[in-house]
Structure 1
């Protein structure tokens, strides 16, 4: 997949080895503000500082990461993870990280849409799951506008600064 220019300021594309330093900087920034990462993946579980680009790509798989650039600056990443077991191979778990919550309606929406198109093209992933904290209403509405539906919740699933939040589970069939 080559870079896809959505409008004059947003570009969505797969990562290359040349992006690795910028990806590490982005992850550092988004880890500082855990509010800007939505999904089940936690960047802290991926030791990019000590790792290499090749190790990152091996962990996530080619085509399972898309980068979003806003005015030439890496401003969003969408990652699709999946289990290797046969019975769960058809399910992808989506995580979106953005530099700012303000980007969810533009860059975030476009990143998720492109990842769904990538899944459709490969034909392996047949269902995409994601998680969202119960208090992030705007993000829930974006997911619903992309065809996701609420499937359940996990009580007290997330603890931030001593506050517990339930996680809502969303899913979307893509076949």
Structure 2
């Protein structure tokens, strides 16, 4: 667990737990309508509380997975999910996904979540590389990832299709050792 202050508010960053399932589904449904930079949009979150509980429990059991939330006064305002590979040959790498409620953009919460992941990865002795993909027009996120040490690795053409328009994504990676 880690605590930070954002605009005088106490933000707690901690591992997700089973009891967060309902709040996380509500959170995902809100952020789905706040940004087109996500891999999902409004009305595309179709999971039950039980399915989310199972997802969280599975993340907690794996040595190469991390699921954390940022909360203010008990309300989820951000999350980060990292899932490592499923086989021995890919267990050392994984992909991160991070999101923050729009009203908290620009306050450093996303940076704190990613820094938590980087620290956790270095201490894990399993994770050797963190991967991500980001839309090429999401300059704000790309700049943050660069500041945190991620390197550009390639472009995936037509990776997103939103309202009949294609968007490319940039793959980025951070070597842990």
**CA 1:52–1:129 in structure 2 vs 1: closer, same or farther (change >3 Å)?**
closer
- Counterpart residue number, 2:12: 11
- Does the Cα contact within 8 Å between 1:36 and 1:98 map onto a contact in 2? no
More helix by share: 1
Q: How many residues align?
A: 169
After TM superposition, the score normalised by the length of structure 2 is 0.83
- Counterpart residue number, 2:56: 57
- Counterpart residue number, 1:24: 25
Shift of 1:106: 0.7
- Does the Cα contact within 8 Å between 2:93 and 2:127 map onto a contact in 1? yes
RMSD between aligned residues? 2.5
- Does the Cα contact within 8 Å between 1:37 and 1:98 map onto a contact in 2? no
After TM superposition, the score normalised by the length of structure 1 is 0.84
- Does the Cα contact within 8 Å between 1:66 and 1:77 map onto a contact in 2? yes
Moved segments of 4+, more than 6 Å: none
- Does the Cα contact within 8 Å between 1:76 and 1:99 map onto a contact in 2? yes
- For residue 88 of structure 1, give the secondary structure of its aligned residue in structure 2: coil
Stretches of structure 2 lacking an aligned partner (at least 5 in a row): none
Segment of structure 1 superposing worse, 125-134 or 61-70: 61-70
1:38-57 matched pairs, under 5 angstroms: 47-51=47-51, 53=53, 55-57=54-56
Shift of 1:58: 4.0
- For residue 143 of structure 2, give the secondary structure of its aligned residue in structure 1: helix
